[in-house]
Amino acid sequence: MKKQPELTDATRQLIADAFWDLLKDHPVDRITVAMVVERAHVHRSTFYRYYHDVFEILEQYEAETLDTMIEQFQWIVDHVGVTDLGEVIRHLESALYQKKDTILLLRLRSVDGRFIRMLKLEMKERCFPLFGDSYTEMEQDFLFEHFFSMILTNMSYLSQHDEGVIDTMRVLTEQLMKNGIYSMIEKAKSDLSV
């Protein structure tokens, strides 16, 4: 007799949730199937009915998160465009905030930084057409690296603060991108001397 799909999905999710809880405290290469089944309160054979090993669960989380992030980034490119930098940053940071804990945990715990490399590759593919013919390939690559490191920095900052900082971050990020850090420091110095 076959199990009901709802029960199968619930069991799969129970195992995945147990793995995720363990990932918060342990590197993936230190998480064993025994630890997962104990946390999930299922038998070892049940685990192997759904997953080959713990790395398969990690890959599932990476793929789901990556799909969500790319879908949101593509929506921003398609609907917001790139002419209003502030709007692009606002939408991107809002999308990142929704998945911040997952993204940061995957960033920290992903095997050999694979998740960040995959995210970077996917975003780069979507960003390059936005530059048009204005820049050489090397210049596009450099601009993208700057943009991507800004995204990672913002995610890290957002993980330590509540959503209320998004508007302030958006303004500061837009100013940094438009004016550069040096001009902002010089402005701050001149404001202090007044």
Of the CA atoms within 13 Å of residue 191, those in its CB half-sphere come to 6
Q: Say if residue 39 is in the same domain as residue 88.
A: no
The yes-or-no verdict on residue 2 having pLDDT over 60 is no
- pLDDT over 90 percentage in the chain: 23
Q: Say if residue 72 is in the same domain as residue 129.
A: yes
Q: Say if residue 96 is in the same domain as residue 146.
A: yes
Q: Say if residue 42 is in the same domain as residue 74.
A: no
Q: Say if residue 127 is in the same domain as residue 39.
A: no
Higher pLDDT: 71 or 40? It is 40
What is residue 11's three-state secondary structure?
A: helix
The yes-or-no verdict on residue 82 having pLDDT over 70 is no
Q: Provide the number of structural domains found in the chain.
A: 2
Q: Say if residue 72 is in the same domain as residue 32.
A: no
Task: For 146-181, write each residue's pLDDT tens digit.
Answer: 878 887 787 777 777 777 777 787 778 778 777 776
Q: Say if residue 32 is in the same domain as residue 101.
A: no
> Residue 16 belongs to what domain range?
5-51
Q: What is the pTM of this model?
A: 0.72
Q: Say if residue 22 is in the same domain as residue 46.
A: yes
Q: Say if residue 67 is in the same domain as residue 137.
A: yes
Q: Say if residue 109 is in the same domain as residue 157.
A: yes
List the alpha helices (DSSP H) in the chain: 5-23, 33-40, 44-50, 54-75, 85-98, 100-109, 114-131, 137-159, 166-193
Q: Say if residue 134 is in the same domain as residue 44.
A: no
Q: Say if residue 14 is in the same domain as residue 72.
A: no
Burial class (CB in 10 A: 0-12, 13-18, 19+), 86: middle
Average confidence (pLDDT) over 125-144: 77
